[in-house]
Structure 1
């Protein structure tokens, strides 16, 4: 009688970037049976992962060599970091083996994504852009939404890995379309956080309990995961970041750059970007996205002070 093997048993997987998202993703992949190689600019953060049996690599190039024809996941913070990881002096391209699969699971600019995909393919390897949504909780629980751009062959090959990390997994189309979808996601997130924050500030100022208002709105047309999770954080005043306001603003700017490249005007997002910029100007950039309500409250205080001085 044969024993069932873990879903990723025998697979070689490398993960570059072990921050808020990469760390729990690495643990899930290791628990699913993969032989996991890890690399981060700060090795001291990797002690727990190394103790669990993951193998440290001193560079992305070394990881690419050791993973061989396996899979490399990149979970870095922005497009410039992705560019450095891929074709820096000790980047993936230096050690990349034909037949390997490279997956960018961060949020990167579409135009750069397509250029990087072409470089990877010239080396005889496959590239997917597969950004995620669902935050740290989703990464820990394996319930991420994963939006994938690239070939059908690459998507099918990555299927068992994606099944370990997520629940809502969609192949959108060719290279770049995963990142296009993530840009749309981040637009909706940024603007909905604004709407929820302003609604709760209005409720408080007009004499209603914001907590009761938030609960009452659940299940109606105004309901959303933003109202559920970020609205609750706003009420509880818990602003320890899953994703920071700084990262959210980066994503908003990236969406606006894509809109400009595509010849599209987005007036609502342009105004929303000004508000996120204001949040950073107030020194709140390392707050969770839900800390946006603090910026709105600060604007209200400034307005009240101006009226008091008149």
Structure 2
């Protein structure tokens, strides 16, 4: 099986290193300088997506627009699969995407090109990617999923096939409800702690020692404690996911009022110009709200 990984960002790069430890791998990245070091690790560095067209292609990209852009044109994956004579390749979408859109893409690529799409979003952050302890939520038909499960097991600790195309993406949105909500309520908790004159580090220690313990706080505590929100998973991407959640909830006819409130909070954060901060930067948004004078009653 010829395996490729496209997208060597904060998640894709450590995933590629883990895959290279066990098998040959072809890599591609839009910024070629990020791919070059992988040649020293034994990877084949492809100059174009077409040159990276293998039997299984993993895409670690933030949205479907970028995935679809790699398919078309003379340098695209579709041309590469045709040139290599690869029938029924598997295209894996690891990004957090709309379940409705990825299911539509899967139907179209299968009907028009014989490409089998598996949606397999990731949870566990860069630490999970580095340590190969990711949670991988899988959607797709049984046959292509069976082909890629051994690959996923090299990348993650918890790998589950949930159903047809879009099922993995839906599970990831459930994950994102919890992540976004946790980020918001931890931010509020630490805002209250600081306002009351408590040591935030001690409060974090106590939270992590009790029922409130969470992986989000484990990985992100330094950002809250240092109030340094400059790098990480952006608020803009968090809001993108929250909007996918709203879309999916509407399609299922279910109301999610708590998530709607969290969405409004991130919309405010981005409107205030903080969209490129780590999503924990919503702490700043909440602090600003706390400082605003109470509106007079009508």
TM-score normalized by structure 1?
0.86
TM-superposed CA distance for 1:240, in Å, is: 4.5
- Could you tell me which residue of structure 2 aligns to residue 17 of structure 1? 7
User: Within 2, Cα distance between the matches of 1:120 and 1:236?
Assistant: 46
User: Within 2, Cα distance between the matches of 1:104 and 1:190?
Assistant: 22
Relative to 1, partners in 2 of residues 1:26 and 1:240: Cα closer, same or farther, differing over 3 Å?
A: farther
Which shows bigger deviation, 214-223 or 83-92?
A: 83-92
TM-superposed CA distance for 1:299, in Å, is: 2.7
Q: Is the 8 A contact 1:135 1:242 kept in 2?
A: no
Relative to 1, partners in 2 of residues 1:200 and 1:229: Cα closer, same or farther, differing over 3 Å?
A: same
Aligned residues: 290
1:102 pairs with 2:91: yes
1:62 pairs with 2:51: yes
User: Within 2, Cα distance between the matches of 1:180 and 1:45?
Assistant: 31
Instruction: Note the residue ranges of structure 2 that are not aligned, 5 or more in a row.
Output: none
Q: Where in structure 1 do 4 or more consecutive aligned residues deviate above 6 Å?
A: none
* 1:73 aligned to which of 55, 58, 65: 58
TM-superposed CA distance for 1:87, in Å, is: 4.4
User: Within 1, Cα distance between the matches of 2:70 and 2:244?
Assistant: 19
* 2:257 aligned to which of 238, 260, 267: 267
User: Within 2, Cα distance between the matches of 1:74 and 1:245?
Assistant: 22
User: Within 2, Cα distance between the matches of 1:116 and 1:166?
Assistant: 25
1:244 pairs with 2:234: yes
* 1:92 aligned to which of 59, 70, 77: 77
Corresponding residue SS for 1:164: coil
TM-superposed CA distance for 1:100, in Å, is: 1.9
Relative to 1, partners in 2 of residues 1:255 and 1:148: Cα closer, same or farther, differing over 3 Å?
A: same
Q: Is the 8 A contact 1:241 1:289 kept in 2?
A: no
TM-superposed CA distance for 1:238, in Å, is: 4.0
Instruction: Note the residue ranges of structure 1 that are not aligned, 5 or more in a row.
Output: 1-10
Relative to 1, partners in 2 of residues 1:160 and 1:284: Cα closer, same or farther, differing over 3 Å?
A: same
1:154 pairs with 2:139: no
| 1:86-116 residue CA offsets vs partner (Å, 9 max, x unmatched) | 3466433333321322111111111121122
Relative to 1, partners in 2 of residues 1:151 and 1:246: Cα closer, same or farther, differing over 3 Å?
A: same
| 1:76-95 residue CA offsets vs partner (Å, 9 max, x unmatched) | 11122122223466433333
TM-superposed CA distance for 1:180, in Å, is: 0.3
Corresponding residue SS for 2:70: helix
CA RMSD of aligned residues (A): 2.1
1:216 pairs with 2:206: yes
Relative to 1, partners in 2 of residues 1:91 and 1:110: Cα closer, same or farther, differing over 3 Å?
A: farther
Relative to 1, partners in 2 of residues 1:263 and 1:82: Cα closer, same or farther, differing over 3 Å?
A: farther
User: Within 2, Cα distance between the matches of 1:258 and 1:225?
Assistant: 25
- Could you tell me which residue of structure 1 aligns to residue 180 of structure 2? 190
TM-score normalized by structure 2?
0.89
